[in-house]
Structure 1
Amino acid sequence: MHETLIEPLQSSLTADKLVIVPHGPLHYLPFAALYDGADFMLEQYSLRVLPSASVMAYLKTPQRSGQTTMLALGNPALGDPALDLPGAQNEVRALSNVVPDTVVAVRERATESLFKRYAARVPVLHIASHGEFNPEEPLSSRLLLVGDESNDGSLTVGELYDLELNSELVTLSACQTGLGDVQSGDDVIGLTRGFLFAGAANIVASLWMVDDEATARLMVNLYNNLQNQDKQQSLRNAQLSVKNNYQAHPYYWAAFQLTGSGR
């Protein structure tokens, strides 16, 4: 894939930051994991992705308001032990030590209603839960949270289109959250596009079912990096940390990609 897609452009790639707008099935390709025989692209560039050029019309600079810096939801109680994510629970609690003024909600408190209550007024939203991609009905793709009398706990793409966010970053530390259905106009309908349309400037999301421990490590590194780096460089350095200090195989670090402005 590197030989086909990247080598013909190599002489033109003089910057260390790249913006990639994939076409067709390339939306599902982890570009950071492309390998030239010596290095992964991750080791050469910091990357961000746009699902289509039309998304640029939605990107905006969020305005900070209020005292809460981040809402972090983790390991919601979904009524099935097979869906428990203890690493995600530890992850969001660890992040509260990195990001000041964080509201942490785990297990029964990680509700869809809490998300909607904070969504419009928090600059950073972090959801460490399961995501489901529905290729037959992309607008029904969803994040699984806890339901209550007001919301059923299934946060769908369709619902995201009705929200107004003011987020500089939404992190979906979950399974298959970055996937969408490639439409005839080469646009993507999925959770990432839903959050962009709702007003998020940047989304970090995964392309496949991720490793719990590796993801927790990556996320702590990401938020530490964000203290003095932009979104694009922060994700790259977090991925490099997992690759160099935990597991070198791309399965453990290449699932996550940044979509949005990069700032």
Structure 2
Amino acid sequence: MRAELSVAELTADFQSRRNDALPLLAKLERQTGHLQTALQTVWRWKGGALIDLIRRHDGYTDVNPTIAQLQQRIAVLRWELERKQRDDESEERLDELRRQIRDLEAQAYHERRYHIHKPGQSDASIYNWQAVLSKLDADCLVEYVSIDDELYAWCITRNGDCTVTTLGSTSTISELLQRLELKNLNALRLNDEQRQQRGETLIRDARVLLQRLYRTLIEPLPIPVEGKLLIAPCAPIHLAPFAALWDGNNYLMERYLIEQIPTGALLGISVPAGPSGPALVIGASADGMLAAVQREINAIAGILPDAQVYLDDPAALTALHNLTTAPRILHFSAHTTFDEEPTIFAGLHLADRTFTIEECYRLNLAGTELVTLNGCTTAYGMESGGALIAFQSAFLIAGAQRLLVSLWPIKDEPAAGLMAHFYQNLMQTQSPAVALRQTQRDLLHDPALAHPAIWSAFAVMRR
């Protein structure tokens, strides 16, 4: 049944019904002391739909011409809607565009329902404890799970130790994160001079909340005092800035090298191999509104001299879809367009159309080491309860090994500077997680960028 369902359907009713039983089962297994079995149930719960799609993906699976035509029309209309909203078009015209988009999306979903996908093969071994443990390349995997408004953390070390810790109410944690979000927004509204003048006060205020989050999410865990952490978040902490959690003396990234993963179950499946070509760098300045994008793209092009570069160029997406070899690095810098409710037709606002999350699923990125999404909250969708409506899931399904995504919006000027630092460090280390950590350390020493709202706005996600 699942093999015949579309991506949209997987993220909606079918997935939610399937998942009703699994958290209850995991809770019962934990209560009876079967921690490893409970964790395997958690992996099935958190990763089942995503892993099914990864295992089915073989590159350009959506060749149905009707679907392709609908996708292009939707993307063009979304781009037009975004532009007319900026130009203060009449509400009547905007509503008409929204109606056209909804109608086309409904047609696209209908076509998908009858478009046969290649059947997936179920394999319980990918949720096997030993299979995942054999590929754990961190000192500790921390798998967070929310069950009945309680947050739990399974901790698995390299040598196979497994523990589970109850961390408290998810409602309380959500409230802390909302308060931190307001603090961050207040800091980000200020210019560099204002932030420097009030720097110590702003940072001290943020650290109060960051320390409370540290005491809730990290301090109770039986993890080493330093090393490498692989963190698998869940709702409501997908957008938590783990790098910036404050222990009273240090930020978490000063003690640990941190990567994130949708679920540890992904370690049980192989990362697709394939030849990789030159980097592909795509930027869109939103008709000049994002003035720093041009400087960012030029800086990256200087660091990656063999890169194919498209700046405000309508040919960018054609080049992306026509790739015969996956780029080693794929970089986007653009404004993001999201709806109030998560949808796979949200995306990045490029030169003449929107590049949607849905399109990512049709890319063949086997061999791509890194996808960078520099835009406002490109970690969008993971908090929705339907984690397949997210850039991270789409690019991982397409074959990317790692992603650099933003947890909240920051201004294009500091984001451009952070990206230049990141790629300089990446060329020296060849590891996105190490490069991001060094970039964060560098920015801590710049008074204009030392607030956690700036330097911890990005995270590395892996398969």
Q: Above 0.5 in TM-score?
A: yes
2:228 matched residue in structure 1: 17
1:106 aligns with 2:305: no
1:125 matched residue in structure 2: 330
- Assess if the C-alpha contact under 8 Å between 2:342 and 2:384 holds in 1: no
1:170 matched residue in structure 2: 371
Note the residue ranges of structure 2 that are not aligned, 5 or more in a row.
1-212
* Displaced runs of 4 or more, over 6 A: none
- How far apart are the structure 1 equivalents of 2:215 and 2:388? 26
**Structure with greater Cα Rg:** 2
Q: Does the residue aligned with 2:460 lie in a helix, a strand or coil?
A: strand
Which of the numbers 407, 413, 417 marks the counterpart of 1:217?
A: 417
Q: Does the residue aligned with 2:280 lie in a helix, a strand or coil?
A: strand
2:400 matched residue in structure 1: 200
Query: 1:72 is aligned with what amino acid?
Result: V
Which one has the bigger strand percentage? 1
2:275 matched residue in structure 1: 64
**Correspondences of 1:228-239 after superposition (within 5 Å):** 228-229=428-429, 230-239=431-440
1:8 aligns with 2:213: no
CA RMSD of aligned residues (A): 2.3
RCO higher in 1 or 2 (8 Å CA, sep ≥ 6)? Answer: 1
- How far apart are the structure 1 equivalents of 2:439 and 2:327? 23
Q: Percent identity?
A: 33
Residues 1:181 and 1:228: Cα distance change in structure 2 (over 3 Å): closer
Query: 1:210 is aligned with what amino acid?
Result: I
Which of the numbers 258, 262, 266 marks the counterpart of 1:51?
A: 262
Which of the numbers 445, 448, 454 marks the counterpart of 1:252?
A: 454
Q: Does the residue aligned with 1:27 lie in a helix, a strand or coil?
A: coil
1:150 matched residue in structure 2: none
TM-score of the two chains, using structure 2 as the length reference: 0.50
- Assess if the C-alpha contact under 8 Å between 2:378 and 2:406 holds in 1: yes
Per-residue deviation at 1:170? 0.3
Per-residue deviation at 1:98? 0.9
- How far apart are the structure 2 equivalents of 1:53 and 1:217? 32
- How far apart are the structure 2 equivalents of 1:178 and 1:199? 17
Q: Deviations over 1:28-57 (max 9, x none)?
A: 211112112222112221211112234446
Per-residue deviation at 1:16? 1.8
Note the residue ranges of structure 1 that are not aligned, 5 or more in a row.
148-152
- Assess if the C-alpha contact under 8 Å between 1:112 and 1:146 holds in 2: no
Paired residue total: 248
- Assess if the C-alpha contact under 8 Å between 2:388 and 2:394 holds in 1: no
2:84 matched residue in structure 1: none
Which of the numbers 278, 283, 287 marks the counterpart of 1:74?
A: 283
Residues 1:36 and 1:13: Cα distance change in structure 2 (over 3 Å): same
Per-residue deviation at 1:171? 0.4
- Assess if the C-alpha contact under 8 Å between 1:208 and 1:255 holds in 2: yes
Which of the numbers 220, 225, 249 marks the counterpart of 1:38?
A: 249
2:147 matched residue in structure 1: none
- How far apart are the structure 2 equivalents of 1:216 and 1:28? 21
- Assess if the C-alpha contact under 8 Å between 2:333 and 2:375 holds in 1: yes
- Assess if the C-alpha contact under 8 Å between 1:210 and 1:255 holds in 2: yes
Residues 1:241 and 1:177: Cα distance change in structure 2 (over 3 Å): same
Residues 1:142 and 1:227: Cα distance change in structure 2 (over 3 Å): same
